[in-house]
């Protein structure tokens, strides 16, 4: 499993850039910020675990902070 997401990682819901990766058993899903914000609580209740959460990059980009 990766420890970071890159620009080619895509949301399993809409194909936008993924910023969150979650896992349960041997399965992994990736989500854009929008879809994780929408479904994250239900996924948590269903036993999925966040392994990568890079949503802060969205905020940093929105306010003009360079992200490498």
Q: Structural domain boundaries of the chain?
A: 1-62
Average pLDDT, the chain: 89
Quickly state the pLDDT bin for 59 (edges 50, 70, 90).
confident
Q: For the segment 9-23, what is each residue's pLDDT rounded down to a tens digit?
A: 999 999 999 999 999
pLDDT tens across 22-35, in order?
Answer: 999 999 999 999 99
Q: With CA atoms as reference, report the closest residue to 30 among 40, 39, 19.
A: 19
SS (H, E, C) 22-53: EEECCEEEEECHHHHHHHHHHHHHCCCEEEEE
44: Cα within 13 Å, side-chain hemisphere:
8
- Of residues 62 and 18, more confidence is placed in 18
């Amino acid at each position: 499993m990766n420890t970071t997401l890159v620009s080619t990682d895509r949301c399993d819901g809409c194909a936008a850039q993924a910023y969150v990766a979650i896992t349960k058993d041997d399965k992994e899903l990736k989500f854009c910020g929008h879809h994780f914000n929408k479904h994250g609580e239900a996924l948590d209740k269903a036993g999925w675990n966040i392994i990568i959460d890079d949503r802060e990059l969205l905020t940093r980009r929105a306010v003009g902070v360079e992200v490498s």
